[in-house]
Structure 1
Amino acid sequence: MQLYLLCGSQCMHAFVSRNIFPSNLVSAAFQSYATSYKLMKKNGTDGITNITVEKVPFGTDQDGMNILGLVVFAIVFGVALRKLGEEGEILIKFFNAFNEATMVLVSWIMWYAPIGIMFLVAGKIVEMEDVASLFASLGKYIACCLIGHAIHGILVLPGIYFIITRKNPYTFLWGIFTALATAFGTSSSSAALPLMMKCVEEKNGISKHISRFILPIGATVNMDGAALFQCVAAVFIAQLNNVSLNFIQVITILVTATASSVGAAGIPAGGVLTLAIILEAIGLPTSDISLILAVDWLVDRTCTVLNVEGDAFGAGILQFFVDRDAKRKGAELSEVRLEAAPESSPLISKRSDAQKSGSGEKESSM
């Protein structure tokens, strides 16, 4: 048993390490490293009897994108471009323009998405032997996503805010209620961004230099709602295809969902686009995303609310640290002023007495 646990931990370490640091970026776009097993016979002492069969792990390349390695390389390459300064701005502008052009293409595709989704879902329903079980599974999937988002948005995020600031988090939430409603209606964190800035500045007392720095970054980077949804969706698709996920695949889902959600666009159904990356990383069929798209109109709205709420709490926590540092510096400055105040000395007192007596004599002489 200990041997199997040791082999499993070593295989997981090799799997993650080799995929995080690919040896060839071109091959990483088509192949990924995986751990496979082969059976080896081992003879006994006499060479005839007591033959045992051992399951020996070995590394091999399999078809499928190495998403984990590509995401890590993209992050490191982006940091390197930022370090170059003006020399790296040209390439950064190129990638930004490429991303904007891709978003325009996606917006065009989204106009025809309802028709395509209708036929994809219809084809998937025809393939299913038990349609009732499919709809029951979809209902459980929606309930799991909504309950998970509710726990994270009502308990976890307010709890973190309360532990750090010792303030009522639900009063803070009431101040951004209009922005949360807009996020739920538009299903876009980018569309709710201007109203979110107005709410946190006017109702929650967040300074402009904090809100206008944190909230735009959070609208692009902070996608905790999308990360939760993608993990649940990946497990749902695995169960739908009767695929049992092992520990390594679960870790891959967690790491890939966290990394890919950072780059998800703040548009409706932005998380579904990155879900294909996770399914490709663990070897699940991407065609089943059509079922997710059929009910994504509801789940994506709660994802957006959770993303916007996390951005607002982040701005509130940063404002708390700024105010605390300002009070500390103000207290230190007042102490320095008190310490720098001139103390009474005999020379000063004698000089002041002499000046008073001299002025008194002048007045008497006059």
Structure 2
Amino acid sequence: MVQDESYRNVVINGFFIIVILMQTFFSSFLGVIFGSLFGCLLRLLPPLDGNILILISFPGDILMRMLKMLILPLIISSLISGLAGLDAKSSGRMGTRAMVYYMSTTVLAALLGVILVLSIHPGNPKLKKQVSVSIKNEEVSSIDAFLDLIRNLFPENLVQACFQQIQTVSKKVPAPPSPLDLIRPLNVTGLSINGSQSNSSSETSVPTMVTQKKLEFKGGMNVLGLIGFFIAFGISMGKMGEQAKLMADFFNILNEIIMRLVSMIMWYSPFGIASLICGKIAAIKDLETVARQLGMYMVTVIVGLVIHGGMILPLIFFSITRKNPYKFYGGIFQAWITALGTASSAGTLPVTFRCLEENLKIDKRVTRFVLPIGATINMDGTALYEAVAAIFIAQMNDVSLDAGQIATVSLTATLASVGAASIPSAGLVTMLLILTAVGLPTQDISLLIAVDWLLDRMRTSINVVGDSFGAGIIYHLSKGELAAIDAKHDAKDGTDMVKLHMMNHDSIKKPTREGVNTPQFSGYASLPTDEYEVQVEPSLHL
């Protein structure tokens, strides 16, 4: 009877998953079609285009708000509940495997982008005049960005980290007057030195400007700092054992509640995704011109993302797990489509959890530990995109990069992608670091804005795919450790049950043959005396 009910639940859940997948796929397809139609219509009705675009994108805006609403409680509950179920050694090994995988795939993505952009050579100096847009960008220091990354890892206020993060800001201010400047006005006008007459009063002094750096808080959740704190919190709670059981139960229940909310949102997601895609396509004023000017750049990025997501990541997955990677792709299809629609790794995180745990049956201790970290620091698509974009800008400026500069682009793209926020268009911000590192004009980033909306969605989907494959690989490598932890817990639970029965035993009924009193359990009164003594002997030390 129980088996029939469990089988029925599996069938029902599978049916719901297939229905939602089909809805998501068709909604994305319809979003592209209606977005193109609305785009043509809006070009005929310019006075109404703003209001209509807002109405078209409104359901998608609601979806993004609901997904972002769940990010903070999901990261907190998943990290703590996942790490509390692991011992320190297992979590350390799992974290090491995750970091090795993240850095390896990110470096491979950046190298692939460099190879493709040098081979295809999409940049042309004539393009800069055709699509020139004047946007002022601040110079960014690589050292400041790296130090900000470390600062954000250790937030001074957890509540503030939920909506702000620290950033080094450079501003040009007038230099303070030197002692010579203070003395100079005291000189008498008209005195001749070596036969020349001074006329300092008629000279206009221009104040010297210097760059001053200071720390400021900017809007946006400090996900890295929250992850760092709650990883330490979860590991510490796991070491406390039974003392922290009540707290562990609380976060486990919180995580289950959040996942139930995610399941409810999934029924609405097809409408939201269609709205997001439709609104973005309809907002393009001249798609044909943009495609003609930046078509080869888009082709280079898209080819790189397809190769990395469709060949390199599946090959790594197959070589380690010996399982079909494209069957794995089928399990994360909904997360991939959601990433295409939302362009946010963090916003897709609730869907990724659901796909891996329910569709692919990956252990929750792995997903809860690996996915929040991966959504923050594992940015394969962003690394590839930034490497291509930096060399593309160099080609448009007719600048030849030597081997050292190309290596700098690859390394900086890898590190910058780690620091990129898991929000839409974060890659454009971190692109400043790469251009500054190799001495390219940062204002040329504005040339890429016209097509960034599309490439941002595609690279985000590859980021999510990389996180998912990483969770599958780490689960495969950690199966033995997880089984050992489960066996240890099962043995401990069995011992606790025996002790619980011993504490609740009835009063002593009769002596044994040796004269030693034997406790009689109300539930085991019919057991033979000799057999019963053998069962309880290890606990009573009789």
Fold in common (TM above 0.5): yes
Q: Helix, strand or coil: the match of 1:99?
A: strand
The separation in 1 between residues aligned to 2:162 and 2:482, in whole angstroms, is 37
The answer to whether the 8 A contact 2:382-2:459 is kept is yes
The separation in 1 between residues aligned to 2:420 and 2:140, in whole angstroms, is 18
Which amino acid letter does the alignment assign opposite residue 439 of structure 2?
A: G
Moved more, 278-287 or 135-144: 135-144
State which of 342, 358, 366 in structure 2 corresponds to 1:202: 358
Check 1:90–1:204 CA distance in 2 against 1; reply closer, same or farther (3 A cut): same
The separation in 2 between residues aligned to 1:188 and 1:66, in whole angstroms, is 26
1:153 equivalent in alignment to 2:309: yes
The separation in 2 between residues aligned to 1:213 and 1:260, in whole angstroms, is 23
State which of 281, 290, 296 in structure 2 corresponds to 1:140: 296
1:258 equivalent in alignment to 2:414: yes
Q: Matches of residues 91-240 of structure 1 in structure 2 within 5 Å?
A: 98-99=164-165, 102-103=218-219, 136=292, 138-240=294-396
- TM-superposed CA distance for 1:184, in Å, is 0.5
- Equivalent residue, structure 2, for 1:90: 156
The answer to whether the 8 A contact 2:149-2:419 is kept is no
Identity, in percent, stands at 44
Q: Matches of residues 290-305 of structure 1 in structure 2 within 5 Å?
A: 290-305=446-461
Give the number of aligned pairs. 240
The separation in 1 between residues aligned to 2:148 and 2:422, in whole angstroms, is 19
The answer to whether the 8 A contact 1:206-1:319 is kept is yes
Q: Deviation digits for residues 235-280 of structure 1, max 9, x if unmatched? A: 1111111111112211111111111111111111111111112112
The separation in 2 between residues aligned to 1:287 and 1:318, in whole angstroms, is 41
The answer to whether the 8 A contact 1:65-1:281 is kept is no
Which amino acid letter does the alignment assign opposite residue 90 of structure 1?
A: E
Moved more, 320-329 or 197-206: 320-329
Which amino acid letter does the alignment assign opposite residue 316 of structure 1?
A: G
The answer to whether the 8 A contact 2:436-2:442 is kept is yes
- Equivalent residue, structure 2, for 1:249: 405
Q: Deviation digits for residues 165-196 of structure 1, max 9, x if unmatched? A: 11111111100101100100111111111011
Stretches of structure 1 lacking an aligned partner (at least 5 in a row): 1-63, 82-88, 106-113, 122-131, 333-366
The answer to whether the 8 A contact 1:200-1:211 is kept is yes
Identify which of structures 1 and 2 has the higher relative contact order when contacts are C-alpha pairs closer than 8 Å and 6+ apart.
2
- Equivalent residue, structure 1, for 2:439: 283
Q: Helix, strand or coil: the match of 1:191?
A: helix
Which amino acid letter does the alignment assign opposite residue 443 of structure 2?
A: S
The separation in 1 between residues aligned to 2:453 and 2:148, in whole angstroms, is 30
Check 1:190–1:65 CA distance in 2 against 1; reply closer, same or farther (3 A cut): closer
TM-score, normalising length: structure 2: 0.40
The separation in 2 between residues aligned to 1:268 and 1:199, in whole angstroms, is 22
Which amino acid letter does the alignment assign opposite residue 382 of structure 2?
A: A
**Aligned-residue RMSD, C-alpha:** 3.3
Check 1:263–1:65 CA distance in 2 against 1; reply closer, same or farther (3 A cut): closer
- Equivalent residue, structure 2, for 1:19: none
- Equivalent residue, structure 2, for 1:51: none
The separation in 2 between residues aligned to 1:206 and 1:138, in whole angstroms, is 41
State which of 115, 138, 144 in structure 2 corresponds to 1:70: 144
TM-score, normalising length: structure 1: 0.58
Q: Deviation digits for residues 177-233 of structure 1, max 9, x if unmatched? A: 011001001111111110110010001111222112211111111111001000000
The separation in 1 between residues aligned to 2:147 and 2:376, in whole angstroms, is 19
The answer to whether the 8 A contact 1:71-1:259 is kept is no
The separation in 2 between residues aligned to 1:151 and 1:307, in whole angstroms, is 13
- Equivalent residue, structure 1, for 2:23: none
- TM-superposed CA distance for 1:91, in Å, is 6.3
Check 1:104–1:324 CA distance in 2 against 1; reply closer, same or farther (3 A cut): closer
Q: Helix, strand or coil: the match of 1:102?
A: strand
The separation in 2 between residues aligned to 1:245 and 1:137, in whole angstroms, is 23
Which amino acid letter does the alignment assign opposite residue 184 of structure 1?
A: L
- TM-superposed CA distance for 1:103, in Å, is 3.6
Q: Helix, strand or coil: the match of 2:400?
A: coil
The separation in 1 between residues aligned to 2:482 and 2:364, in whole angstroms, is 16
Q: Helix, strand or coil: the match of 2:323?
A: coil
